Chains A and B, each alone.
Chain A
Amino acid sequence: MKKSISFVLNGEPVRAEIEPHLTLLHLLRDELELTGTKEGCGMGECGACTVLLDGRPVNSCILPAMEVDGKNVTTIEGLIDAQGNLHPIQKAFIEHGAIQCGFCTPGMVLSAKALLDENPKPTEEEIRNAIAGNLCRCTGYLQIVQAIKAASNQ
Chain B
Amino acid sequence: MKGEKRKVILKEKKVEIPLAKEELEVVGKQVIRKDGYEKVTGRLKFGADFDKAGFLHGKVLRSPHAHALIKKVDVEKAKALPGVVAILTAEDVPGRNGFGAIIPDQPVICGEKVRFIGDGVALVAAESEEAAIEALKLIDVEYEPLSAVFSPVEAMKPGAPKVHENGNLLTTVRIRKGDTEKGFQEAEVIVEQTYSLPFVEHAYMEPDVAMAIPHEDGTITVKGPMQAPFTVRRNIAPVLHIPISKVQCVQTHLGGGFGGKEDSSIDIGVRAALLAWKTKRPVRMEYEREEVTLSTAKRHPMIIQCKVGAKRDGTLTALEGTIYNEQGAYASLGPIIPPAGGTHAHAVIMLPGPYVIPHVKVDGYLVYTNHPYGGAMRGFGAPQVNFVHESIIDELAEALQMNPYDLRMKNCFELGSVTATGQVLDQSIALKETMRSAADQFEWFKRWRPPPSKEEVEKVEKRRGVGMAIGWYRTSIGTFSDGCGANVYVHEDGSVILHTGITEMGQGSHTVLAQIAAEELGVRIEDVRIVVPDTDIVPEAGPTVGSRSTTLMGNAIIMASQAVKASILEAASEILGVPAERLVARNRLIFDRDDQTRGVEFKEAARRALATGKRMMGQGWWAPPRPSFDVETGQGYPYFVYTYNTQMAEVEVDTKTGHVEVIKVVACFDIGRAINPILVEGQIEGGIMMGLGYAMMEEVLLKEGKVQNLNFQDYMIPTAMDAPEIVPMILEDPNRYGPFGAKGIGEMPNIPTAPAIINAVANAVGVRIRDLPAHSEKVFHAMRGRRG
CB of B40 within 8 A of CB of A140, answer: no
Q: Is B469 an interface residue (CB 8 A)?
A: no
CB of A145 within 8 A of CB of B205, answer: no
CB of A105 within 8 A of CB of B39, answer: yes
CB of B41 within 8 A of CB of A36, answer: yes
CB of A137 within 8 A of CB of B256, answer: yes
CB of B206 within 8 A of CB of A101, answer: yes
CB of B45 within 8 A of CB of A35, answer: yes
Q: How many residues of A contact B (CB 8 A)?
A: 52
Query: Can you give 8 A-B contacts (C-beta < 8 A)?
Result: A30-B52, A75-B42, A100-B256, A102-B253, A127-B720, A137-B204, A137-B258, A143-B685
**Partner-contacting stretch, out of A1-9, A63-71, A76-84:** A76-84
Q: Is A94 an interface residue (CB 8 A)?
A: yes
Write the B680-696 contact mask toward A (1 if CB under 8 angstroms, else 0): 01100111111000000
Q: Is A43 an interface residue (CB 8 A)?
A: yes
Chain A residue nearest to B43 in the complex (CB): A36
Question: Are A103 and B685 also in contact (CB < 8 A) when A142-B726, A144-B720 are?
Answer: no
Q: Is A46 an interface residue (CB 8 A)?
A: yes
- Give the one of B35, B41, B506, B720 with max A CB within 10 A: B720
Question: Are A102 and B37 also in contact (CB < 8 A) when A42-B288, A132-B719 are?
Answer: no
Binding site for B on A (CB under 8 A): 29-30, 35-43, 45-46, 48, 75-77, 79-80, 86, 90, 93-95, 97, 99-106, 109, 127-129, 131-145
CB of A99 within 8 A of CB of B685, answer: no
Chain A nearest CB from B518 CB (Å) reads 19
**Residue from A40, A77, A100 within 8 A of B682 (CB atoms):** A100
**Chain B interface size, under 10 / 10 to 19 / 20 to 34 / 35 or more:** 35 or more
Chain A nearest CB from B299 CB (Å) reads 13
CB of B720 within 8 A of CB of A80, answer: no
CB of A95 within 8 A of CB of B32, answer: yes
Chain B nearest CB from A42 CB (Å) reads 6
Chain A residue nearest to B256 in the complex (CB): A101
Considering the chains assembled together, what is the distance between the CA atoms of A137 and B266 in angstroms? 22
Q: Which residues of A contact B49 (CB under 8 A)?
A: 29, 35
**Residue from A35, A42, A139 within 8 A of B685 (CB atoms):** A139
Chain B residue nearest to A93 in the complex (CB): B40
CB of B42 within 8 A of CB of A35, answer: yes
Considering the chains assembled together, what is the distance between the CA atoms of A98 and B686 in angstroms? 11
Considering the chains assembled together, what is the distance between the CA atoms of A109 and B41 in angstroms? 9
**Partner-contacting stretch, out of B305-313, B489-497, B709-717:** B709-717
Given A35-B49, A139-B689, A140-B682; 18 other pairs, CB 8 A cutoff: A35-B45, A36-B41, A38-B255, A100-B506, A100-B686, A101-B206, A101-B253, A101-B254, A102-B35, A102-B40, A103-B204, A105-B42, A129-B721, A132-B719, A138-B256, A138-B506, A140-B687, A143-B685
CB of A103 within 8 A of CB of B205, answer: yes
Considering the chains assembled together, what is the distance between the CA atoms of A43 and B288 in angstroms? 11
Q: Which residues of A contact B257 (CB under 8 A)?
A: 101
**Residue from A46, A109, A129 within 8 A of B205 (CB atoms):** A46
Considering the chains assembled together, what is the distance between the CA atoms of A66 and B366 in angstroms? 53
Considering the chains assembled together, what is the distance between the CA atoms of A141 and B52 in angstroms? 33
Chain B nearest CB from A36 CB (Å) reads 2
Chain A nearest CB from B171 CB (Å) reads 30
Chain B nearest CB from A11 CB (Å) reads 16
Q: Which residues of B contact A76 (CB under 8 A)?
A: 41-42
Q: Is B778 an interface residue (CB 8 A)?
A: no
CB of A140 within 8 A of CB of B726, answer: yes
CB of A142 within 8 A of CB of B506, answer: no
Question: Are A135 and B719 also in contact (CB < 8 A) when A36-B42, A95-B32, A100-B682 are?
Answer: yes
CB of A42 within 8 A of CB of B204, answer: no
Chain A nearest CB from B151 CB (Å) reads 29
CB of B726 within 8 A of CB of A45, answer: no
CB of A38 within 8 A of CB of B720, answer: no
Q: Is B321 an interface residue (CB 8 A)?
A: no
Q: Which residues of B contact A95 (CB under 8 A)?
A: 32
Nearest first, the 3 A-B pairs at minimum CB distance are A36-B42, A101-B506, A102-B39
CB of A90 within 8 A of CB of B289, answer: no
